[in-house]
Amino acid sequence: MSTFILTESKLEPAKAAYDFTLPAGDGWMHEIKRGQTFRIVDLDGNQAVDTLFYNAHEMSDRYSAQDTIREQGSIYLTAGTRLISSEGNVLATLVADTCGRHDTLGGACAAESNQVRYALDKRWMHSCRDTFMLAITRWGRGVTKCDITHNINFFMNVPVTAEGRLSFADGVSAGGSYVELRAEMDLICLISNCPQLNNPCNAYNPTPVRLLIWD
Amino acid sequence: MTTEKILFEESLPGGGLWSWRIPRHTTLRLTDLEGGANVGLMAYNTDQPLDRLNLPDTLKAQHTAMLKRGNVLMSDMGHALFSITADPCGWHDPLGGHGNAALVRKKYGGATYQEKRNDWFRNAHDNFLIELGKHGLGKRDLVANVNFFSRLDVDAEGKMKFHTGNSKAGDFVDLRAEMNVLAVLNTCQHPLDPNPKYAPKPVKLTLRQTPPPGADDFCRNFRGENQRSFILTERLFLGA
The 3-state secondary structure of chain A, one letter per residue: CCCCCCECCCCCHHHCCEEEEECCCCEEEEEECCCCEEEEEECCCCCCEEEEEEECCEEEEEECHHHHHHHHCECCECCCCEEEECCCCEEEEEEEECCCCEECCCCCCCHHHHHHHCCHHHCCCCCHHHHHHHHHHHHCCCCCHHHCCCCEEECCCCCECCCCEECCCCCCCCCCEEEEEEECCCEEEEEEECCCCCCHHHCCCCCCEEEEEEC
Alpha-carbon distances, residue B10 vs B16, B44, B175, B180 (angstroms): 12, 21, 16, 20
> pLDDT band at A201, cuts 50/70/90?
confident
Of A86, A160, A161, nearest to B142 by CB-CB distance is A86
Distance to chain A for B34, nearest Cα, Å: 25
User: Looking at residues A98-117, what average pLDDT do you find?
Assistant: 97
pLDDT tens digits, residue range B5-33?
999 999 999 999 999 999 999 999 999 99
Per-residue pLDDT band for A1 (boundaries 50, 70, 90) equals very low
Query: Which of A105, A120, A161 is the closest to B59 by Cβ?
Result: A105
- Contact assignment for A2 to B65 by CB distance below 8 Å: no
Which of chain B's residues have a Cβ under 8 Å away from the Cβ of A67? 97
| B-chain residue closest to A153, CA distance | B56
pLDDT band at A168 (very low <50, low <70, confident <90, very high): confident
pLDDT for B41-78, tens place per residue?
A: 999 999 999 999 999 999 999 999 999 999 999 999 99
Residue B118: DSSP 8-state: G
- Contact list, B225 vs chain A (CB under 8 Å): 116-117
Q: pLDDT value at position A19?
A: 98
Band (A5; pLDDT cuts 50, 70, 90):
confident
CB contact under 8 A, A160 and B57: no
pLDDT digits (tens, 9 = 90+) for B177-229: 999 999 999 999 999 999 999 999 999 999 999 999 999 999 999 999 999 99
Query: In whole angstroms, what is the distance from residue A82 CA to residue B40 CA?
Result: 24
What global pTM score does this model have? 0.97
Q: What is the pLDDT of residues A67-97, one digit of tens each?
A: 999 999 999 999 999 999 999 999 999 999 9
The confidence score (pLDDT) of residue B34 equals 98
- Split at pLDDT 50, 70, 90, the class of B138 is very high
- In this predicted structure, the answer to whether residue A170 has a pLDDT above a threshold of 90 is no
Domain boundary assignment for chain B: 6-235
Which chain A residue is nearest to residue B138, measuring alpha carbons?
A60
Q: Test A2 with B229 for CB contact under 8 angstroms.
A: no
Mean pLDDT, range B105-120, rounded to an integer? 94
> Hey, are the CB atoms on A117 and B154 less than 8 Å from each other?
no
For the beta carbon of residue A154, count every other beta carbon within 10 angstroms: 27
Check residue A200 and give its pLDDT: 78
Q: Smallest Cα–Cα separation from B189: which of B40, B18, B67, B42?
A: B40
Contacting residues for B197 by C-beta, under 8 A, at least 6 apart: B108
Q: B141-155, pLDDT tens digit by residue?
A: 999 999 999 999 999
How far the first Cα of chain B sits from its last, in Å, is 30
Residues of chain B with Cβ-Cβ distance to A3 below 8 Å are: 157
**What mean pLDDT do residues B113-140 have?**
97
Q: Which residues of A touch B61 (CB under 8 A)?
A: 113, 116-117
Q: Is B212 exposed, middle or buried (0-12, 13-18, 19+ CB in 10 A)?
A: exposed
Distance from CA of A75 to the nearest CA of B (A): 5
Q: Are A114 and A123 in contact (CB under 8 A)?
A: yes
Of the candidates A74, A101, A110, the beta carbon closest to that of B159 is on A74
* Residue A17: Cβ within 10 Å count: 11
Q: What is the mean pLDDT of chain A?
A: 95
Q: State the pLDDT confidence band at B110, using cuts at 50, 70 and 90.
A: confident
Looking at residue B240, its pLDDT comes to 65
Angle in degrees, CA A78, B98, A75, rounded to 5: 20
Residues A75, B95: C-beta atoms closer than 8 Å: yes
The pLDDT score that the predictor gives to residue A204 is 87
Between chains, do B228 and A1 touch, taking CB under 8 Å as contact? no
Predicted confidence at residue A2, as pLDDT, reads 63
Q: Which of A101, A128, A102, A136 is nearest to A194 (CA)?
A: A128
All residues at 6 or more sequence positions from B138 whose CB lies less than 8 Å from its CB, including other chains: A60, B129, B132
Contact A86 B139 (CB under 8 A): yes
What per-residue confidence (pLDDT) applies to A64? Answer: 98
pLDDT digits (tens, 9 = 90+) for B68-80: 999 999 999 999 9
Contacts of B144 in chain A (CB under 8 A): 64-66, 149-150
Chain A residue nearest residue B152, CA to CA: A164
Q: Lowest-confidence range among A33-42, A127-136, A169-178?
A: A169-178
User: What is the predicted pLDDT for the residue at A78?
Assistant: 96
Q: Give the Cα separation of B28 and B75 in Å (integer).
A: 18
Which of A1, A66, A158 faces B156 most closely, judged by CB atoms? A1
Q: Which of B60, B103, B159 sits opposite A73 (nearest CB)?
A: B159
Substitution target in A4, A71, A115, A116 with the highest count of B β-carbons within 10 Å is A116
How many beta-carbon contacts under 8 Å exist across A and B? 140
**What share of chain B in percent tops pLDDT 90?**
97
Widest pairwise Cα distance in chain B:
56
